Structure 1
Amino acid sequence: MNIGNQISNIRKEQQLTQEEFGRLFHVTRQTVSNWENEKSYPDLQILVDMSNQFEISLDTLLKEDSKMVKAIDKERVLGTIKHEKSIIDFFTGAGTGIVASCLFSPDSTIRTVAIIVGLVMIGIGWYKKAKCDKKVFKYMEEHEEV
């Protein structure tokens, strides 16, 4: 049974309209309808709230809906990648800024040290990017649609 059917069954067993059900989880009637018709999925926190509210295990809610589990897994991976990308952007951007700003300053020991620090930061950014790309490609290979 898929998550949409599970939500519909729970709601009907509790004798709740879609609007009443939505109010419990601070979403609209349309959102509940989309869940039930599998046009979208509730986020993980709402699933936990449903589990607590109706005393149904998450395992029961999700067990047979591999599509939902894949969607949650994909969301988690994309969040991790987005976080890693912001770190990469920081290192490469800050390093580039440091190096570029040093190009217009007079020769000095401080300038040399700043250029080295900037280049190291760029190197860290590139290294992290290579690791992140490797993770993305591995994830894509593992989850490739046949």
Structure 2
Amino acid sequence: MNIGGTISVLRKEHGMTQKEFGEMFHVTRQTVSNWENEKSYPDLHTLVEISNRFGISLDTLLKEDQLLVEKIDKERNYGKMKREKSVIDFLTGAGTGIVVSCLASPDSVRRTAVILVGLIMIGIGWYKKSVYDKAVMKYLEE
């Protein structure tokens, strides 16, 4: 059985309407209907609440529905990739800003050191970008 079917069975076994079930988990009746019809899935926090409230193991809820497990994995990977992209943008942007701002300053050891730091940041950003691009391609192939 899938997660939507399990939610439907749990709700009916406890004599609850979709509205009552939704109120219990702070969602609308339409959201419960979407869960039951596999149009969307509860978030992980709500799944834990359902598990606790109805005494059904989270393992049982998740293992029964392979699509949900895959969706959660994809969302987790997507979040990880977004964070990595932010780091890349920071490194390359800040590194470029440092280098450009130092170009107008007078020649000194400090200026050279700061430019070197900026170039290192850009280099690290580029390296991370190449690793990130490979991860994106792998993600898209799944």
TM over 0.5: yes
* Alignment partner, residue 52 of structure 1: 52
- Is there any run of 5+ residues in structure 1 with no aligned partner, and where? none
Q: Which runs of 4+ in 1 moved over 6 A?
A: none
Alignment deviations for residues 77-132 of structure 1 (CA, whole Å, 9 cap, x no partner): 10110111111111111101101111222222111111100000011111111122
State the distance in 2 between where 1:105 and 1:27 align.
58
State the distance in 2 between where 1:138 and 1:34 align.
30
* Alignment partner, residue 95 of structure 1: 95
Residue 69 of structure 1: CA displacement?
1.1
Residue 19 of structure 1: CA displacement?
1.4
Residue type at the aligned position of 1:76: R
TM-score (norm 1): 0.91
Q: Does 1:110 align with 2:115?
A: no
Percent sequence identity is: 70
State the distance in 2 between where 1:106 and 1:30 align.
65
* Alignment partner, residue 127 of structure 1: 127
Residue type at the aligned position of 1:61: L
State the distance in 2 between where 1:95 and 1:132 align.
18
Alignment deviations for residues 47-103 of structure 1 (CA, whole Å, 9 cap, x no partner): 111111111011221223111111111111101101111111111111011011112
- Is there any run of 5+ residues in structure 2 with no aligned partner, and where? none
* Alignment partner, residue 79 of structure 2: 79
* Alignment partner, residue 9 of structure 2: 9
* Alignment partner, residue 22 of structure 2: 22
